[in-house]
Structures are given as C-alpha cells and as structure tokens.
C-alpha cells in the first residue's frame, strides 16, 4: 500500500513525459474535414478546431511541459546537491557576506526569476529551461548547504571520522543519504509549482514558440472555442492537474517517510 502510493504518481509522471511515443496521430496534421470530431478509436479525445488529434497533442504537450520540468529538476538535483554539500563542509557557514548573499538571492521566489528571464529573453524552451534551473538551483544549494551543516554536527559523523572515513566518503556515503529525502521533497514541490508556472506563461500569451505544443498554449487556444466544445479546455487542465498532483503526492510521501524513519 505504502509503495503503491509512491509508484502510481511516478508512473503518471513517466507516462505523461514519454507518452508522445504512443501518440496515435501526427499532432500537427490539420484536417478540415474532422473539425471538432467527438471521441472515437482514431481520435481518443476527439479533435480541435483545426481537426488535429487532441490526444496526440496532449501527449506531445506533456513531452514539452514535463520535459522542461524533469530535465531542469535533474540538473538542479545533481549540481545543486553537490555544490551544497561542499559549501556546507567548508567554513563558509560563518561568512556573513556569503550567507547574506545566499539568503538574499533565495528570498526571491522562482516565479519572479521566471518572469525576469522569460520577459527579457522572450519565452522559448531553452529560456524556460535556463530560467527554471537558475531559479531552483539557488534554493537547492541553500537547502543542501543547511542540511549538510546540520548533519555534520550530528554524532554519527564523529563516529565515522573516528573510524577513519575520508572526507568524500563522509559527505557522499554518510551525509547525503540522510538528507536526500528532504531534498527530493523540496524538488517535487518545486516541480509542481513549475508545471503551473510554465503553463501560466504560455496561457497568458508568452508562448514557448510558434510551433511548440504545450498544455498552457493548448488551454489558451481552446478557450476561444470553449462554447463550441468545452472538453478541449478540460483535457489540458486535467493533465496539468494530474501531473501537479502527482508531484505533490510524491512530496507528501517523502515527508511522511521522514516521520516514520
């Protein structure tokens, strides 16, 4: 039961990000004869105002939206954690200036960084990826650094040192496993927030590019034909909701596990 709660959200995320491989139709292929087709074997979710397969578009949209989030999160986890570990180990913890800088830059929420990046560079997939990584990595470094400092103060580290473990071994074998849960917890919550932010930008008109399909821009397009076919609006929002929920549920599992451990 416990495992199931963990596996299902992960499966959902994997399906939504890799589902484009299973897409039954070309998401760009317009077909004036099949405008607003209803659900059928050929078009599981029907078609939109240009006769494009809604199901395939959803799957391709997932590749873009979730792809940015997952790739960004992986980079943040890898780089942010390692930098945080080393910073936590060094005596920078006592440097007023450095700490203030880190506090200062993390005081600004990721969404604000996204606004700055996206606004200035215009929205595109690479911009979004860079913006997302930069805004999250700073917070990740701070979290990882603080956690490392806390862990290094605990008794088991002293035991490890006295039994001759090297510095690298202490950091990666002893400290890292003890804080990885809270790091992933943070990352999952951020991913949930990012899915919403990315969709929000394309939704208000700063789309990722002219030919890029993503859930936000699908929402925006379908809103114009809301009165004709409201299901076109509900599919993208449903998938945004499910993926966000999945990340939030994983985060909760991580949190709950910590209490049990």
User: Which residue ranges make up the site for another protein (CB under 8 A)?
Assistant: 96-97, 99-101, 103-105, 107-109, 111-112, 115-122, 192, 196-197, 199-201, 203-206, 219, 223, 226, 237, 240-241, 244-245, 248-249, 252
Min CB(234)–another protein separation in Å? 10
**Minimum CB distance to another protein smaller for 32 or for 96:** 96
Min CB(89)–another protein separation in Å? 23
Min CB(198)–another protein separation in Å? 10
Which contacts of 62-65 are long-range, i.e. CB under 8 A and separated by 24 or more positions? 62/16, 62/17, 62/19, 62/20, 62/215, 62/239, 62/243, 63/17, 63/18, 63/19, 63/20, 64/125, 64/208, 64/212, 64/213, 64/214, 65/195, 65/198, 65/199, 65/214, 65/215, 65/216, 65/240, 65/243
**Minimum CB distance to another protein smaller for 3 or for 94:** 94
**Minimum CB distance to another protein smaller for 51 or for 146:** 146
85 contacts 171 by C-beta, under 8 angstroms: yes
Min CB(103)–another protein separation in Å? 5
Min CB(159)–another protein separation in Å? 27
**Minimum CB distance to another protein smaller for 74 or for 112:** 112
**From residue 241, how far is each of 178, 196, 225, 236, 244 by CA, in Å?**
31, 9, 21, 8, 5
**Minimum CB distance to another protein smaller for 114 or for 171:** 114
């Amino acid at each position: 039961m416990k495992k199931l709660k963990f596996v299902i959200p992960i499966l959902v995320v994997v399906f939504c990000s890799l589902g484009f491989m299973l897409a039954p139709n070309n998401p760009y292929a317009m077909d004036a004869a099949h405008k607003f087709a209803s659900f059928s074997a050929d078009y599981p979710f029907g078609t939109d105002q240009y006769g494009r397969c809604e199901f395939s578009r959803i799957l391709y949209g997932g590749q873009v939206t979730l792809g940015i989030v997952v790739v960004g999160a992986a980079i943040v986890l890898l780089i942010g954690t390692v930098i945080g570990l080393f910073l936590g180990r060094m005596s920078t913890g006592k440097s007023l200036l450095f700490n203030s800088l880190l506090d200062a830059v993390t005081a600004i929420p990721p969404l604000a960084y996204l606004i700055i990046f996206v606004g200035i560079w215009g929205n595109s997939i690479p911009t979004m990826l860079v913006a997302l990584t930069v805004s999250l990595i700073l917070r990740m470094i701070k979290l990882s650094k603080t956690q490392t400092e806390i862990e290094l103060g605990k008794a088991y580290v002293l035991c490890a040192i006295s039994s001759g473990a090297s510095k690298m071994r202490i950091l990666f074998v002893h400290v890292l496993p003890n804080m990885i849960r809270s790091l992933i917890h943070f990352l999952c919550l951020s991913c949930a927030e990012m899915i919403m932010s990315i969709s929000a930008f394309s939704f208000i008109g700063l789309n990722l590019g002219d030919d890029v399909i993503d859930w936000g821009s699908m929402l925006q397009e379908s809103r114009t034909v809301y009165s004709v076919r409201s299901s076109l609006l509900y599919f993208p929002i449903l998938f945004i909701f499910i993926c966000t929920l999945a990340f939030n549920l994983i985060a909760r599992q991580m949190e709950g596990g910590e209490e049990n451990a």
